[in-house]
Structure 1
Amino acid sequence: MENYSSGGLIQTTKSAIRYLPIECNNLIFRSRYGPGTNVIDEDWDNILILDACRYDMFADRVSFDGRLESRISLGSSSEEFLERNFHSKTCHDTVYVNANPFIPRLDLDQGTFHAVVDCLSEWDHELQTVRPDTVANAARDAASKFPSKRLIIHFMQPHTPFIGELGRNMAGGGWTMDHDVKEEPGIWAQLRDGTADVDLETVWEAYTENLDVVLAEVTDLLETLDGKSVITADHGNLVGERLSPIPSRRKYGHPYGVHAEELVKVPWFVVDGDTRREVRPEPPVDQESVSEETVDERLEALGYR
């Protein structure tokens, strides 16, 4: 009704026709893979989320001991993942160490978890993201402060901006002080629009470099966390693939509500600890939410407009 009132019958019909192939593909995907995994119901003490990490790239880059499985995410974007996993849930045995602006945007920092540890206030203005070492240090502090809680640790990498040596110097891939984030579109938008001045192979190299950057911090962090840890992703990313079985143009990025293997098949890498944490729920702690202005700025820097 909202679409109809704002755009009229013709616009609503055009939108329905445009999304019909996507919905058909989604239906076929779900019939093959099932509805997906609710992460809060799985068995873990610590879950480390690598934002926008594809299963295939993780499988190719992980080099430490553990057991690699896969899961089907409930969302193809952070917003959809967070909504479908945590909206209207009570997770008072869990602390969320957060670098993703959609947590405050969806009000999930207000009573959903026992506590949300905000890393957005430690934003790197040169790189236009939260650095992985910032999140790892916050996770260590949270593990010490909340020894009886499960930890969700949400890193922003390998999501753009690319912050490795190659990626940060790529127009649209890594923001630096020489790049105006308000004017320059991200690399996935450039590839969609055909305006990128870099080939896809180089983009993929910068993308995997971003994964290597965060995995280096994850490796060190795992040595300090007790309990059973799982490394996963909220969603993957399209890098020039076509949707199927109903074909599409080549797609880039991670649009909301598009369930394809490259987008929702995510790693589930299990690192068994020597002991398990004794977890108990407690009422949420009082805390202030991040301001709307700050959330908008962070989302824009990450390519959400």
Structure 2
Amino acid sequence: MKIPDRYSLENLLTALKRPSLVLSEANALGTKLNINLQDKLNYPSGTDIPGRDWDNLIILDGCRYDMYAEHCNIEGELEKCRSSGSESWEFLQNNFQGEQHHDTVYVTANPHAPKLDSDTFHAVENLLDEYWDAEHQTVRPEDVADAAIEIYQEYPDKRLIVHFMQPHFPFIGDTGDDLEHKGIDLHREGRESTDAQVWMNLKYNRADKELVWKAYRENLEVVLPHAERVMESIPGKTVITSDHGNLLGERTGPIPARGYGHPRGLHAEELREVPWHVIESSERRSITADPPVNSEDLDSEIVEQRLDNLGYK
């Protein structure tokens, strides 16, 4: 069995000086074991997103149900639903991959979207190039909202999915601007250091949990007005949901390891319980399916870079 690069003599000596690193590594190994163990258990499947009734589906990336329920004041009927993934690509695969939804247009700031088959939707508007904010290393919610409203004018007879990146890291609120997102300095073969995102820093006790929670909450507060603007600007029945949540050190199972971020294939309430917020409308759109239109392919180097920027690598 190949020993991971991080289990070097240098890191062992560092761990002896900082025992908390040993506990953090034990938690990481426990999480991996839980994923493997849970794969053999019969967990309930997630909500069938395409099969539910909606004209506009707003996805707030990485939004926990409990945080949304506490801080969202948009009128409507809010309930929990179970996501079919604990990270974005798992969510997209389980809901859309291998299927054809030619009555739907997908407007997205998520870097996993280009992995979907080209004929999955009638059209895809990927915002990762033209609307990329280099300073904050994400696509800002106001740009997603502007693009969605414009795209609706072009496709008024299609269901519309609008995928915001917030409240997902990177954090763009006031607290997020002051919060150090990077900094863990574990030596690895061929690399002097890693540019670790915030969940990794939490895992290795390099970030304050209360500050991270505040910055995460602010990201939700930043995106909600723009989600509401989309809802108010585009007619039809709107649902606000999320692809997955986030762990901030909660215990997972069956091994009681603390989890961080949103590992793929992990079943935990904080990851799988997401909002399903229905905003009814007296004005429903007439939806039709048509053959897919050609969407401009996003350069693979840009996709890889955005995955890295957003903490997926």
Residue 201 of structure 1 aligns with an amino acid whose one-letter code is: E
CA positional deviation for 1:64: 1.8
CA positional deviation for 1:97: 0.3
1:44-102: CA deviation from partner (whole Å, max 9, x where unpaired): 00000000000000000011211101111110000100111111100000000010010
Q: Distance in 2 between matches of 1:187 and 1:19?
A: 19
SS of structure 2 residue aligned to 1:208 = helix
Return closer, same or farther for 1:135/1:25 CA change in 2, 3 Å cut-off.
same
Identity %, equivalent residues: 47
Match of 2:18 in 1: none
CA positional deviation for 1:107: 3.5
Q: Tell me the number of residue pairs that the alignment of Structure 1 and Structure 2 aligns.
A: 277
Aligned equivalent of 2:61, options 39, 42, 51: 51
Aligned equivalent of 1:238, options 239, 247, 268: 247
Match of 1:63 in 2: 73
1:117 aligns with 2:120: no
Match of 1:259 in 2: 267
Q: Distance in 1 between matches of 2:36 and 2:284?
A: 41
Structure 1 segment 73-84 matched on structure 2, within 5 A: 73-84=83-94
Return closer, same or farther for 1:18/1:205 CA change in 2, 3 Å cut-off.
closer
CA positional deviation for 1:286: 1.1
Contact 1:29 1:259 in 2 (8 A): no
Match of 1:178 in 2: none
Match of 1:279 in 2: 287
Contact 1:92 1:283 in 2 (8 A): yes
Contact 2:63 2:167 in 1 (8 A): yes
Q: Distance in 2 between matches of 1:59 and 1:123?
A: 29
CA positional deviation for 1:20: 4.8
CA positional deviation for 1:183: 5.4
Structure 1 segment 152-301 matched on structure 2, within 5 A: 152-172=161-181, 184-196=195-207, 199-244=208-253, 246-301=254-309
Contact 1:73 1:265 in 2 (8 A): yes
TM-score after normalising by structure 1? 0.86
1:122-160: CA deviation from partner (whole Å, max 9, x where unpaired): 100001000001100111011111010000000000000
Q: Distance in 2 between matches of 1:218 and 1:287?
A: 24
Return closer, same or farther for 1:98/1:18 CA change in 2, 3 Å cut-off.
closer
Q: Distance in 1 between matches of 2:42 and 2:57?
A: 26
Structure 1 segment 141-156 matched on structure 2, within 5 A: 141-156=150-165
Q: Distance in 1 between matches of 2:66 and 2:41?
A: 21
SS of structure 2 residue aligned to 1:255 = coil
Contact 1:26 1:259 in 2 (8 A): no
Contact 2:127 2:139 in 1 (8 A): yes
TM-score after normalising by structure 2? 0.84
Residue 124 of structure 1 aligns with an amino acid whose one-letter code is: D
Contact 2:110 2:164 in 1 (8 A): yes
1:4-34: CA deviation from partner (whole Å, max 9, x where unpaired): 9x99xxxxxxxx998553344466672xxx2
SS of structure 2 residue aligned to 1:195 = coil
Residue 178 of structure 2 aligns with an amino acid whose one-letter code is: N
1:276-304: CA deviation from partner (whole Å, max 9, x where unpaired): 11101000001221011000110100012
User: What is the RMSD of the two structures over their aligned residues, measured on CA atoms?
Assistant: 2.1
Q: Distance in 1 between matches of 2:180 and 2:222?
A: 19
Q: Distance in 1 between matches of 2:33 and 2:247?
A: 19
Residue 127 of structure 2 aligns with an amino acid whose one-letter code is: C
Q: Distance in 1 between matches of 2:119 and 2:53?
A: 22
What are structure 2's unaligned runs of at least 5 residues? 4-28, 183-192
Residue 166 of structure 1 aligns with an amino acid whose one-letter code is: T
Return closer, same or farther for 1:153/1:215 CA change in 2, 3 Å cut-off.
same
CA positional deviation for 1:37: 1.0
What are structure 1's unaligned runs of at least 5 residues? 8-15, 174-181
CA positional deviation for 1:248: 2.9
Which has the higher mean CA deviation after the structures are superposed, 291-300 or 19-28? 19-28
CA positional deviation for 1:202: 1.3
Aligned equivalent of 1:22, options 35, 40, 48: 35
SS of structure 2 residue aligned to 1:263 = helix
Q: Distance in 2 between matches of 1:293 and 1:86?
A: 24
SS of structure 2 residue aligned to 1:42 = coil
Aligned equivalent of 1:92, options 102, 114, 118: 102
Residue 191 of structure 1 aligns with an amino acid whose one-letter code is: L
SS of structure 1 residue aligned to 2:106 = strand
